[in-house]
């Protein structure tokens, strides 16, 4: 069964926020909302770096809807507006959404937002209008660091494709299965994959 997802090579993410801005423009996301944002590790530090000189690191983590295999917010949606498709993506039918925000409260990653003007909840759709035509999600197409890739999470992440047609396995430095991570799983089984080498992943414990 297909489970479309994005694979993110954190060793290549430079924190430029181009993915977030491309998403915002493509999907006409209102001011004050981001469907796709970039978190900086250690952002509470003055310079945003982690560690002590000369051993400093800075890691960026792009964060959006994880298009989970078992999304909790689908269960709590009283109208069926939140639903899962056969391609593994989780979508919102705005015509059914009543803006109750139960889904936003049930999402463990805080990536659903109330559109105040339309009074409906919105989130990343994985650019369903583009992937339906065989194209890539906008954030993948515009990733200047070639950190974002697109493919089937039920397959091999090394086969995920990028904007120039390469696969992540042929383009990026070699990585092991132990370098591939997910955000914390609270029973929802997030689909997005994160590659991080030679750095402690603080997400699955």
Question: pTM of the full predicted structure?
Answer: 0.90
pLDDT at 45: 47
Task: Give the model confidence (pLDDT) of 30-85 as tens digits.
Answer: 988 999 999 987 665 445 667 777 877 778 999 999 999 999 899 999 999 999 99
- What is d(CA 64, CA 55) in angstroms, rounded to the nearest whole number? 30
Which of these ranges, 46-50, 128-132, 185-189, has the smallest mean pLDDT?
46-50
Bridge partner list, 102? none
pLDDT higher than threshold 80 for residue 140:
yes
pLDDT at 42: 66
More confident residue, 52 or 103: 103
- What is d(CA 96, CA 79) in angstroms, rounded to the nearest whole number? 6
More confident residue, 1 or 191: 191
- What is d(CA 24, CA 34) in angstroms, rounded to the nearest whole number? 7
pLDDT at 52: 79
Task: Give the model confidence (pLDDT) of 147-183 as tens digits.
Answer: 999 999 999 999 999 999 999 999 999 999 999 999 9
- Mean pLDDT over all residues of the chain? 91
Angle CA 27–196–167, to nearest 5: 65
pLDDT higher than threshold 80 for residue 116:
yes
């Amino acid at each position: 069964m297909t489970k479309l997802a994005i694979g993110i090579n954190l060793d290549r993410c430079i924190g430029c926020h181009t993915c977030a801005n491309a998403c915002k423009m493509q999907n006409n996301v209102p001011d004050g909302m981001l469907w796709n944002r970039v978190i900086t590790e250690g952002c509470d530090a003055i310079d945003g770096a982690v560690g002590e000189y000369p051993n400093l690191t800075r890691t960026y983590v792009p964060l959006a809807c994880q298009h989970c295999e078992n999304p909790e917010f689908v269960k709590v949606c009283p109208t069926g507006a939140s639903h899962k498709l056969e391609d593994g993506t989780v979508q919102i039918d705005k015509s059914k959404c009543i803006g109750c925000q139960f889904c936003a409260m049930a999402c463990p990653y805080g990536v659903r937002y109330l559109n105040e003007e339309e009074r409906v909840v919105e989130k990343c759709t994985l650019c369903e209008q583009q992937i339906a035509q065989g194209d890539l999600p906008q954030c993948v197409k515009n990733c200047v660091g070639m950190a974002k890739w697109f493919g089937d999470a039920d397959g091999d992440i090394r086969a995920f494709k990028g904007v120039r047609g390469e696969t992540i396995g042929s383009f990026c430095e070699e990585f092991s299965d132990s370098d591939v991570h997910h955000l914390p799983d609270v029973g929802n089984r997030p689909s997005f994959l994160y590659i991080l080498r030679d750095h402690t992943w603080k997400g699955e414990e």
